[in-house]
């Protein structure tokens, strides 16, 4: 629900004298919140670069437009502007608000609208400030998943440990039996099956233990370009029976990230493999790296750092909305030969690197998984 503020401390002042107004201008240019000002008719008078980015329209396309047109069918945003314009009050909405745009998916945002008063006290119009919350939402989702996973992981690791010992006993006994039976006994086929199956369980158990308690990361400088190049090489080979184009768009200016090369390789291998497997016959897997502009991680107890985004997009089957939350659950799989552990392990590795994962998917069209890693630890 929108929340009212006392007008006295909520108002945004008009022009500032002298140098200060240049400074005001610079602040507007540089902040990452979209700022859009309206005259008393409700037509756009001013907007900053962040507003152009958020609205996905240029300043020229928006200037002079009426708010009704700008926020067409977006009742809450219109309501905020109206309250600020017509009632001269400032007002906030930060719950469940989405900005609808034509080309891309709705963006979670919060918004604050305030009247603009000239120095003489007359109201000049109103301003709305909109903040993109998608990063924060991704961080929250990531933490929620990690929480659930760590509980499951502890349980799984305990269980795995308990199974591993008796399993060793079964395998040992089968081996002894096999020796006792001698080379020519027809019963040896059975003991061989016992040994083989016990080994298979062992592999599963070890994977499970990895999930609960993987080795502590060995931190070093990791060249992401190299890691991703190697993965593509392998995946191209694996995709020989399909018509898949692997497209790489690396930002060459990205410095090495601090992380565990083995774990990061495993992480991206899992994601690229999923992208490949999501494509039935022909399609494209696009891997893009870029520095996340102006973004600093501000998780609890963490030092802020610039982030690097690694986006893996596919033109595959997409993920149904009702499966979104389940795909991270260990052993959840929609594939015949899937283990269902890939994403659970990926999430764990991301968490260990203080990163986060964002998922965008459109069923029938494809999926983008974006891993954000801090450049410094």
Ligand X SMILES: Nc1ncnc2c1ncn2[C@@H]1O[C@H](COP(=O)(O)OP(=O)(O)O)[C@@H](O)[C@H]1O
Question: Angle formed by the axes of helices 224-238 and 261-278, to 10°?
Answer: 40
CA–CA gap between residue 245 and residue 239 (Å, rounded): 9
Nearest alpha-carbon partner for 312 in 375, 248, 236? 248
59 counts as binding ligand X under rule CB under 6 A:
no
Radius of gyration of the chain (CA): 27
CA–CA gap between residue 81 and residue 68 (Å, rounded): 10
313 counts as binding ligand X under rule CB under 6 A:
no
343 counts as binding ligand X under rule CB under 6 A:
yes
Among 274, 313, 347, 370, binds Mg ion (CB under 5 A): 274
275 counts as binding ligand X under rule CB under 6 A:
yes
CA–CA gap between residue 208 and residue 164 (Å, rounded): 11
Q: Which helix (H) or strand (E) holds 248?
A: strand 243-249
Cβ proximity to ligand X: between 11 and 274 the closer is 274
207 counts as binding ligand X under rule CB under 6 A:
no
CB of 216 to Mg ion, least distance (A): 24
Nearest alpha-carbon partner for 347 in 143, 42, 127? 143
11 counts as binding ligand X under rule CB under 6 A:
no
Nearest residue to the partner ligand X, using Cβ: 342
Cβ proximity to Mg ion: between 7 and 334 the closer is 334
125 counts as binding Mg ion under rule CB under 5 A:
no
Among 76, 270, 305, 372, binds ligand X (CB under 6 A): 270
Quickly tell me which residue has 């986060």 as its tokens: 356
The footprint of Mg ion on residues 332-371 (CB under 5 A) is: 342
CA–CA gap between residue 207 and residue 293 (Å, rounded): 36
Q: Which does 278 bind (CB under 5 to 8 A by kind): Mg ion, ligand X, none?
A: ligand X
Cβ proximity to ligand X: between 252 and 364 the closer is 364
Q: Where does this chain bind ligand X (CB under 6 A)?
A: 270, 274-275, 278, 314, 316-319, 327, 332-335, 338-344, 367
């Amino acid at each position: 629900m929108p929340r009212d503020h006392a007008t006295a401390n909520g108002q945004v002042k008009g022009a500032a004298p002298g140098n200060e107004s240049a400074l005001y201008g610079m602040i507007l240019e540089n902040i990452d919140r979209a700022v859009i000002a309206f005259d008393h008719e409700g037509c756009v008078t001013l907007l900053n670069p962040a507003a152009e980015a958020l609205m996905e329209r240029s300043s020229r396309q928006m200037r002079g437009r009426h708010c009704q047109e700008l926020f067409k069918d977006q009742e809450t945003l219109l309501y905020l502007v109206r309250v600020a314009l017509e009632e001269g009050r400032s007002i906030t909405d930060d719950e469940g608000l989405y900005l609808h745009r034509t080309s891309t998916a709705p963006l979670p945002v919060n918004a604050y609208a305030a009247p603009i008063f000239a120095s003489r006290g007359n109201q000049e119009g109103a301003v709305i400030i909109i903040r993109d919350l998608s990063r924060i939402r991704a961080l929250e989702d990531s933490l929620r998943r990690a929480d659930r996973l760590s509980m499951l992981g502890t349980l799984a690791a305990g269980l795995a440990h308990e199974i591993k010992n008796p399993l060793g006993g079964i395998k040992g006994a089968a081996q002894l039996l096999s020796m006792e039976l001698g080379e020519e006994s027809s019963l040896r086929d059975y003991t061989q099956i016992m040994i083989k199956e016990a080994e298979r369980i062992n592999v599963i158990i070890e994977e499970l233990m990895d999930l609960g308690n993987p080795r502590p990361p060995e931190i070093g400088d990791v060249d992401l370009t190299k890691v991703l190049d190697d993965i593509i090489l392998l995946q191209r080979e694996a995709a020989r029976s399909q018509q898949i184009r692997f497209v790489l768009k690396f930002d060459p200016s990205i410095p090495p990230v601090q992380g565990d090369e083995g774990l990061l390789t495993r992480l991206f291998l899992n994601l690229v493999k999923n992208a490949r497997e999501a494509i039935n016959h022909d399609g494209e897997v696009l891997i893009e790296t870029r520095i996340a502009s102006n973004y600093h991680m501000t998780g609890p107890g963490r030092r802020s750092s610039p982030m690097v985004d690694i986006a893996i997009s596919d033109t595959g089957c997409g993920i149904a909305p009702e499966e979104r939350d389940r795909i991270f659950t260990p052993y959840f799989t929609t594939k015949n030969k899937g283990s269902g552990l890939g994403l659970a392990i990926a999430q764990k590795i991301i968490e260990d690197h203080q990163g986060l994962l964002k998922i965008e998917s459109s069923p029938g069209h494809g999926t983008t998984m974006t891993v954000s890693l801090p450049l410094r630890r």
